[in-house]
Amino acid sequence: MSEIVVKDLCKTFNQNTDTVDALKNINLTIETGDIYGIIGMSGAGKSTLVRCFNFLEKPTSGEVWIGNKNLSALSEKELRAERSEIAMIFQSFNLLMQKNVIDNVCFPLRLQKISKADARKRAKELLEIVGLSEKEKAYPAQLSGGQRQRVAIARALANKPRILLCDEATSALDPQTTASILELLRDINKKLGITIVVITHQMSVVSEICNKVAIIEKGEVVENGLVEDVFNHPKSSAARELILRGDNEKTGGIVETINAERKIRIVFTENSSYEPVIANMVLKFQTAVNILRADTRNVGGVAKGEMILGLPEDTTLQENIISYLRERGLEIEEVTGDV
Which pLDDT tens digits describe the chain residue by residue (339 residues)? 689 999 999 999 987 888 889 999 999 999 999 999 999 988 899 999 999 999 999 999 999 999 999 999 999 999 988 998 999 998 888 899 999 999 999 999 988 889 999 999 999 999 999 999 999 999 999 999 999 999 999 999 999 999 999 999 888 888 899 999 999 999 999 999 999 999 998 888 998 899 999 999 999 999 999 998 888 888 888 888 888 765 444 444 444 444 567 888 888 766 555 678 888 888 888 888 888 877 777 776 666 778 888 888 888 888 999 998 888 888 888 887 655
Which residues sit opposite 304 in a β-bridge? 297
- Which residues make Cβ contacts (< 8 Å) with residue 134, sequence separation at least 6? none
Q: Rounded distance, CA 27 to CA 49, Å?
A: 11
Residue 48 Cα distances to 40, 192, 196, angstroms: 12, 27, 17
Distance between CA atoms of 153 and 219, rounded to whole angstroms? 28
Q: 145-156 and 101-111 are packed helices; what angle lies between their axes, rounded to 10 degrees? A: 20
Domains, the chain: 2-85+161-241 (3.40.50.300), 255-335 (3.30.70.260)
Residue 288: per-residue pLDDT: 82
Res 78: pLDDT = 93
Give, as one character, the DSSP assignment of residue 194. Answer: -
pTM, two decimals, is 0.80
DSSP 312: P
Q: How far apart are CA 254 and CA 32, in angstroms?
A: 38
